[in-house]
Structure 1
């Protein structure tokens, strides 16, 4: 019998599509189902990771809250983005990846039955972690427009109630590449202040912005430093998925509780990975600008190649959504046909939010333009359109 905390957690779907693609053992399959990337991590991060394997200090549980140099680097990184200062000793904890950090934060701030507002669509793993922390997810609708996604501010206001404890916002977001505008961040901040709620900011893709957009960090908005908890990681921007290193930066008023949860959950981080993460955060050239330029090039190619299909333009991130229901195909059926006939692995957005089940996700971070060159023909062959 399934325990109650798992009853509302059906999974994320990516695992099933990935396993199906792996089982075919066909190098011609376009891997658009999972957030991997073929772009290399920073050279300095690779070198320092190799060195750490022979460093006895990296083969330790201590310090439980993360190596001091990494905490300093992460606190400085968040502080620069927000334009505020953080005390690395009291206001930063290293986590075993960004999502572990988010779960630890949710466990630190939620009582059973407390509500958390997320965008719709959003990453199913965020919704699932709200459930794991005994919270109740509520949703603010993202609206697809001709130029990309926008937050429905009326829907945001309607989603907030007396049990709301936090807004959990990712920008750029998965799966659609929504990027919050200045006005949208100000509206979010106003709700946090008016209702006395936390902003849990998933900054995993913060700098992966297209079309000349600039980073807007919500902790830098008036009154938001003490209400914002930022969770970041080296996985996306720094292309270091396998390191499993993230950070939590927030006001001292909550960080002791986060520390207690961290000690009770994962206990500590990957020792040999933290020096490489520190090197990435402090590198003279972290390669982020070049990587973003390449991901934007892939986005632009797909927007052009699929111009006759209902694809919503992403403003950042690693993926985009196509409304297959508008084409007369349910996303699970569209996904199955793509893999069988077109050799494309793509994940249907079932359970990625109440309005997400009409979409199929294409990840463009792991396939070059040269590999993507015939994607429209593959789709035509699969869906007969």
Structure 2
């Protein structure tokens, strides 16, 4: 019998799709948030060298190597224009996802409400539930060109029990990128409700079509309310290193540090050296990767012209509206694998109004040449598409 905290929390469909795809080389692997682009050039060498150092085979320091904390503080300070103290305002975590959960546990009590976008990463939604809080969904709306946050619904979602706004930007799975008006509406609610913003910054600089970068902590009075959770997984293509960070005001970071220590104890010692090397890499390394991911996104959109697919403004994935073709997401995912040799994840648990009508297509892990076969594969799956 399951404990109450697991009520309503489904298993992860990504694993099921990946297992069904097995190792068939003909299958387009669009189901998981991976990438075949390599980390910055120095990362592997420095990580290997770290294996032989005794200080990297230790539990200490519990909240992260000071050199890495300093690099993270510098990184986020550059993004926000606000100076962070590496000793008191930075914690290194085992990936960004640990940091997300640590922050939720430090800012919410059971029964508190957390505002999330609809759709959003299922790992965010269900960490809210694991913490005992209640997710309140605010829909993203497709306006014919891009996803936009429903600001009227955002304001209506606020209640006296609102404690956190939990936002990823670019959003996953949709690839939505919030504009200044939307961020300012979020900031206004945080201030009026005395609420925290937990900002999932895992993909924050993976922006397409020359979109401008904006960190919410750079807005007036928001540095004192913003908890930034980042990692080396996406921008630096270092998923296997499992290194992330939480950055925020000292008043809350001491609580997040306690959660981190009793949750995981210590971040991965060997991998921290590689993460430090990544943060010291030139920005051109990131820009070249973003350019390649944009080429892949463009290829997907070109292949699916006339098909109900919603282009991503950033990130690694976009959504295919299979509901408009007459399918639920699990049926469509199965047919795509069986008929089109496409591994794609059903979105049933990733939102409320935006959920079971979508499957996610991850474009970051397949080269343009293979993505250029997408239309024929889709057409062989769904008879109404030619």
Shared fold per TM-score greater than 0.5: yes
* 1:122 and 1:353 in contact (8 A); partners too: yes
> Deviations for 1:288-309, whole angstroms, at most 9, x for unmatched residues?
1000000000111111110111
> Deviations for 1:134-168, whole angstroms, at most 9, x for unmatched residues?
11000111001211100000010111111010000
Residue 253 (structure 2) pairs with residue 252 (structure 1): no
Shift of 1:285: 5.2
> How far apart, CA to CA, are the structure 2 residues paired with 1:349 and 1:79?
35
> How far apart, CA to CA, are the structure 1 residues paired with 2:356 and 2:337?
19
Shift of 1:286: 6.3
In structure 2, the partner of 1:368 is 367
* 2:233 and 2:242 in contact (8 A); partners too: yes
> How far apart, CA to CA, are the structure 1 residues paired with 2:364 and 2:136?
29
* 2:90 and 2:245 in contact (8 A); partners too: yes
> How far apart, CA to CA, are the structure 2 residues paired with 1:122 and 1:239?
21
> How far apart, CA to CA, are the structure 2 residues paired with 1:4 and 1:227?
31
Shift of 1:47: 1.4
* 2:317 and 2:360 in contact (8 A); partners too: yes
Shift of 1:282: 1.0
Secondary structure in 1 aligned to 2:378? Answer: helix
In structure 2, the partner of 1:29 is 27
Residue 365 (structure 2) pairs with residue 359 (structure 1): no
Structure 1: segments with no counterpart, 5+ residues: none
For these two proteins, the number of residue pairs brought into alignment is: 383
* 1:37 and 1:239 in contact (8 A); partners too: yes
Q: After the TM superposition, which residues 299-338 of structure 1 pair with which residues of structure 2 at under 5 Å, given as runs? A: 299-338=297-336
> How far apart, CA to CA, are the structure 1 residues paired with 2:282 and 2:151?
40
In structure 1, the partner of 2:175 is 177
Residue 117 (structure 2) pairs with residue 119 (structure 1): yes
> How far apart, CA to CA, are the structure 2 residues paired with 1:359 and 1:285?
34
Residue 3 (structure 2) pairs with residue 3 (structure 1): yes
In structure 2, the partner of 1:12 is 12
> Deviations for 1:178-233, whole angstroms, at most 9, x for unmatched residues?
11101110111011011110000000000000010121000010000100000000
In structure 2, the partner of 1:377 is 376
Structure 2: segments with no counterpart, 5+ residues: none
Residue 132 (structure 2) pairs with residue 149 (structure 1): no
Q: After the TM superposition, which residues 187-206 of structure 1 pair with which residues of structure 2 at under 5 Å, given as runs? A: 187-206=185-204
Find the partner of 2:162 among 139, 154, 164. 164
* 1:12 and 1:352 in contact (8 A); partners too: no
Q: After the TM superposition, which residues 41-60 of structure 1 pair with which residues of structure 2 at under 5 Å, given as runs? A: 41-60=39-58
In structure 2, the partner of 1:281 is 279
* 1:42 and 1:286 in contact (8 A); partners too: no
Secondary structure in 2 aligned to 1:65? Answer: coil
Check 1:105–1:286 CA distance in 2 against 1; reply closer, same or farther (3 A cut): farther
* 1:11 and 1:124 in contact (8 A); partners too: no
> Deviations for 1:20-70, whole angstroms, at most 9, x for unmatched residues?
111xx3111000000000000001111110111111111111000000011
Q: After the TM superposition, which residues 104-115 of structure 1 pair with which residues of structure 2 at under 5 Å, given as runs? A: 104-115=102-113
TM-score (norm 2): 0.98
TM-score (norm 1): 0.98
* 2:96 and 2:245 in contact (8 A); partners too: yes
> How far apart, CA to CA, are the structure 2 residues paired with 1:173 and 1:301?
20
> How far apart, CA to CA, are the structure 1 residues paired with 2:234 and 2:332?
27
Shift of 1:11: 2.4
* 2:300 and 2:372 in contact (8 A); partners too: no
> How far apart, CA to CA, are the structure 1 residues paired with 2:109 and 2:274?
36
Residue 222 (structure 2) pairs with residue 224 (structure 1): yes
> How far apart, CA to CA, are the structure 2 residues paired with 1:46 and 1:80?
25
Residue 102 (structure 2) pairs with residue 99 (structure 1): no
Shift of 1:284: 3.2
Find the partner of 1:88 among 65, 83, 86. 86
